[in-house]
Amino acid sequence: MSTLDIGLATNTGGSLRARTTGAFRTRRDARRYWMLLILFIGVGLLATLGLILYKNPVPVDSPSFIPVVKRRLTAVVAMFIAALCHSFSTVAFQSVTSNRIITPSLLGYESLYSFIQTSVLFFFGAATLVKFTGTGAFFLQVALMIALSLILFGWLLSGKYGNLHLMLLIGIIIGAGLNAVSGLMRRVLSPSEFDLLQARLIGSVNNADADYFPIVIPLVLVTVLCLYQLSRKLNVLSLGKDVSTAFGVNYQANIILVLVLIAVLMSVSTTLVGPMTFFGFLVALLSYQAAPTYDHRYVLPMAFAIGFCILTSAYMLLYHVFRAQTVVSVIIELFGGIAFLIVILRKRSL
Amino acid sequence: MHALNEAEMRSQPPFSEPSANRKKIFTLPFVLAIFAVMALGVISLFTGVYDIWGQADGRDMFFITRVPRTIALMLTGAAMAMTGLIMHLVTQNKMVEPTTIGTTEWAGLGLLAVYLLVPGPSLVLRMTGAIVFSFVGTMIFFLFLRRVRLRSSLIVPIMGLMLGAVISALSTFVTLYFNMSQVIENWFIGSFAPVQIGRYEYLWIIVIVTVILFLYANRLTIAGLGEEVAATLGVNYNRLIVLANALIAVCVGIVAAVIGNIPFLGLIVPNIISMVRGDDLRSNLPWVCLMGMGTITLCDIIARVVIMPFEVPVSLILGTVGAVVFILILLRQRRSRRLR
């Protein structure tokens, strides 16, 4: 695989010195990349420190410091996981679909998630929904989501008629159908039950339960490492089916592998912190700007750094400066949505 | 995908009287279909919990709720199916309809804006808001479609659905901020339950839209062939696009304000009709209207019967059935390799 490093420099046809096979076009680009990466990680860490320490009523040396910090730490870990899941899955997804304006959250994970939550409340009542948080429930939901995506990929991507866009569209339509069903169930709810449900359905790191971490963190880390290992293949896959085949990469098998990894990340994140549709899109968009390369070995870390930086600083600012606790994720979504609109209106081809 | 029946065009000498071999509208199947829809209408009139035969005021009840409900069903069905047809024509893409390009979400945002600006708005105000916003939204999408080069016709609904998701994220933000989300959610599920005398009459505007559409059918078909072809044939492309857009916005806006969200009807009805009959707008239009009426009436009867003393919103039935039919249509086209 090592020969597949496709440097941009070969296309520019500049001076001989610029003709490198590295990931960046010029030294300046490389320097800019590393500086931005350090900057984002730095801001992210600062915001993390701020989240943990700012307005903490207990001094650091007090014995009750650890329990107090624990709750804040849970939120920070949840942000870490969410950033990891969304950044890696969105960038990888956009590469395998060769389309930089779609996100994996389109595939109906969120609809399935809200369908499961709503039907638990609808069929078993509010008491069960409050209890529906254990490790078993968590894994049940993750397993259901992965199963759905496996069925979808296996059915529509393999074989003679395999077509990525068709798979996407059908995924979206299944999502719409599920939304119709959960919409009906929600209509019959009393307002208090509705409020309970809505708190679950809006993404928030405060939904995260620390009990899951021992299982979730290794799972996410292993998946992310697998994706990172596939970076060079992703570089090729993003060039489309014909080029990939010409380079000797088994297009269909690799795409399904990548999509399964994406499904794991998306379902874990959706179950842990709730749906976030445009966060991943925003992160991927910014990371392409910040990392002027097509090499996923560099784009993926940058995407993660940006995602973590956005999440922590947004929570930091909105919690402690603007005092708007409930709407953080909605605001991130709003920014992502607006960014999407701007990008789509400036696009020339799809 | 071509909206004009090419064989028919070639067979005609230029500048001849076109009526000679134009497809007839009132054929035997069409008359039978009319009777079928009328039968559905009658069933709809006599479906309900209230005993209109036994009770003393049964007759009044019949005219206060049952008749308006059935009329509203017919008008809405025709309107939504027609919007789908216009969109298919103008964009030359059979996956485009108000639900798949975000027009419905824009209408919802418009309603929300009116609720925020005017406390307790009248129906006319709500309708205006919905119409204006759906016009703007559809226009944005059409402009976007004209500017980009597309690699696949399937990408259009994907983009449109994403656009719709953005708009509904915006609506979510607004509703959360002003704490009115259950109000909007209840509105957004389209249902004919609240229809009665005095609350549905604006739907009659749809009849005017249908007439305009019928008059402009041929020109819209030409516009669907693209800007250059339209200009060659002496049709003002931009004006027609704005007109088509206005017709769509009026239909979607009125239905959104009076009934709510009616998903997928504009997609499945014209697609099924064009599978059976081919693409000729003039002779398909009555079929599309009729089948739109029939489908939504059938769905509404099911919605009223399925949990009998209560009823489910018709948009749930349509959303579920529509999603399944949409997927079947996609798979069928995949087989015949019409999708690229």
| Tens digits of residue pLDDT in A51-63 | 777 666 666 666 6
**Residue A146 has what pLDDT?**
83
**Residue A14 has what pLDDT?**
43
Assess contact for B148 and A350: CB atoms under 8 A. yes
Residue of A113, A47, A104, A143 lying closest to A273 (CA atoms): A113
Q: How confident is the model at residue A221 (pLDDT cuts 50, 70, 90)?
A: very high
CA distance B320 to B264: 9
Burial A204-229 (b: 16+ CB within 10 A, else e): bbbbbeeebbeebeebbeebbeebbe
Q: What is the pLDDT of residues B123-144, one digit of tens each?
A: 788 888 888 888 888 888 888 7
> Does residue A66 or residue A82 have the better pLDDT?
A82
Tokens 């009287």 belong to B17
Share of chain A above pLDDT 90, in %: 6
**Residue A202 has what pLDDT?**
65
Q: Among residues 237-276 of chain A, which lie with CB inside 8 Å of chain B?
A: none
Partner residue opposite A181 with nearest CB, options B172, B320, B327: B320
- Look at residue B118 and tell me whether its pLDDT is greater than 60: yes
- Look at residue A322 and tell me whether its pLDDT is greater than 70: no
- Look at residue A284 and tell me whether its pLDDT is greater than 80: yes
Q: How confident is the model at residue A7 (pLDDT cuts 50, 70, 90)?
A: very low
Share of chain A above pLDDT 70, in %: 82
Q: Among residues 245-284 of chain B, which lie with CB inside 8 Å of chain A?
A: 263
- Look at residue A247 and tell me whether its pLDDT is greater than 80: yes
Assess contact for A176 and B157: CB atoms under 8 A. no
Partner residue opposite B316 with nearest CB, options A161, A180, A338: A180
Angstrom distances, CA of residue A222 to CA of A1, A216, A259, B244 = 21, 10, 15, 53
With an 8 Å Cβ cutoff, is B163 touching chain A?
A: yes
**Residue A350 has what pLDDT?**
59
State the best of B316, B318, B328, B329 to mutate against chain A, taking most chain A CBs within 10 Å: B316
> CB count, 10 Å around CB of B194?
12
Share of chain B above pLDDT 90, in %: 0
- Look at residue A230 and tell me whether its pLDDT is greater than 80: yes
Residues of A in Cβ contact (< 8 Å) with B309:
none
CA distance A58 to A65: 6
- Look at residue A115 and tell me whether its pLDDT is greater than 70: yes
- Look at residue A327 and tell me whether its pLDDT is greater than 70: no
All domains in chain A, ordered by first residue: 2-346 (1.10.3470.10)
**Residue A222 has what pLDDT?**
92
> CB count, 10 Å around CB of A64?
10
**Residue B96 has what pLDDT?**
82
CA distance B289 to B243: 19
Residue B189, strand partner residues: B261
Residues of B in Cβ contact (< 8 Å) with A330:
169, 172-173, 176
Cβ neighbors of A142 (< 8 A, separation 6 or more) are A264, A267, A268, A271
Angstrom distances, CA of residue B309 to CA of B49, B191, B194, B197, B304 = 6, 16, 15, 22, 8
Which range is least confidently modeled, B77-81, B203-207, B278-282?
B278-282
Residues of A in Cβ contact (< 8 Å) with B162:
101-103, 106, 340, 344
The alpha carbon of residue A177 is apart from the nearest alpha carbon of chain B, in Å, by 5
Residue of A143, A65, A87 lying closest to A305 (CA atoms): A87
Q: Which two tokens stand for residue A141?
A: 């939901």
**Residue B289 has what pLDDT?**
86
Q: How confident is the model at residue B309 (pLDDT cuts 50, 70, 90)?
A: low
Tokens 């639900």 belong to B99
**Residue A113 has what pLDDT?**
81
Return mean pLDDT, chain A: 78
B207 phi and psi angles, rounded to 5 deg? -60, -45
Q: Which two tokens stand for residue B21?
A: 């071999």
- Look at residue B9 and tell me whether its pLDDT is greater than 60: no
> Does residue A321 or residue A219 have the better pLDDT?
A219
Tokens 């960038």 belong to A91
Q: What is the pLDDT of residues A157-203, one digit of tens each?
A: 666 666 777 777 888 888 888 888 887 777 677 777 777 777 777 65
CA distance B262 to B80: 8
**Residue A160 has what pLDDT?**
60
> CB count, 10 Å around CB of A39?
13
Under DSSP, the state recorded for B194 is T
Angstrom distances, CA of residue A100 to CA of A103, A154, A238, A350 = 8, 23, 10, 9
**Residue B112 has what pLDDT?**
84
Q: Which two tokens stand for residue B164?
A: 């719709």
CA distance B244 to B249: 9
Closest chain A residue to B163 measured between Cα atoms? A341
All domains in chain B, ordered by first residue: 6-12+36-100+189-335 (1.10.3470.10)
Own/partner contacts of A246-253, CB < 8 Å, gap of 24 or more, are A247/A4, A252/A157, A252/A158, A252/A162
Mean pLDDT value across residues A240-265? 85
**Residue A191 has what pLDDT?**
75
CA distance B300 to B317: 8
Q: Among residues 79-138 of chain B, which lie with CB inside 8 Å of chain A?
A: 95, 99
CA distance B199 to B127: 12
Q: How confident is the model at residue A204 (pLDDT cuts 50, 70, 90)?
A: low
Tokens 């975000």 belong to B102
**Residue B17 has what pLDDT?**
42
Assess contact for A78 and A208: CB atoms under 8 A. yes
Chain-centroid distance, C-alpha B250:
11
The alpha carbon of residue A245 is apart from the nearest alpha carbon of chain B, in Å, by 19
- Look at residue B240 and tell me whether its pLDDT is greater than 50: yes
- Look at residue A40 and tell me whether its pLDDT is greater than 70: yes
- Look at residue A17 and tell me whether its pLDDT is greater than 70: no
Return mean pLDDT, chain B: 76
Assess contact for B36 and B297: CB atoms under 8 A. no
Mean pLDDT comparison of A162-166, A323-327, B321-325, highest-scoring range: B321-325
Q: How confident is the model at residue A210 (pLDDT cuts 50, 70, 90)?
A: confident
**Residue B1 has what pLDDT?**
40
Instruction: Judge residue B149's burial from the number of C-beta atoms within 10 Å of its C-beta, 0-12 exposed, 13-18 middle, 19 or more buried.
Output: exposed
Q: How confident is the model at residue A3 (pLDDT cuts 50, 70, 90)?
A: very low
**Residue A13 has what pLDDT?**
42
Instruction: Judge residue B8's burial from the number of C-beta atoms within 10 Å of its C-beta, 0-12 exposed, 13-18 middle, 19 or more buried.
Output: middle
CA distance B4 to B12: 13
Assess contact for B140 and A344: CB atoms under 8 A. no
With an 8 Å Cβ cutoff, is B168 touching chain A?
A: no
**Residue B8 has what pLDDT?**
42
With an 8 Å Cβ cutoff, is A186 touching chain B?
A: yes
Q: What is the pLDDT of residues A89-106, one digit of tens each?
A: 999 988 888 777 778 877
Mean pLDDT comparison of A13-17, A326-330, A335-339, B55-59, highest-scoring range: A335-339
CA distance B172 to B178: 10
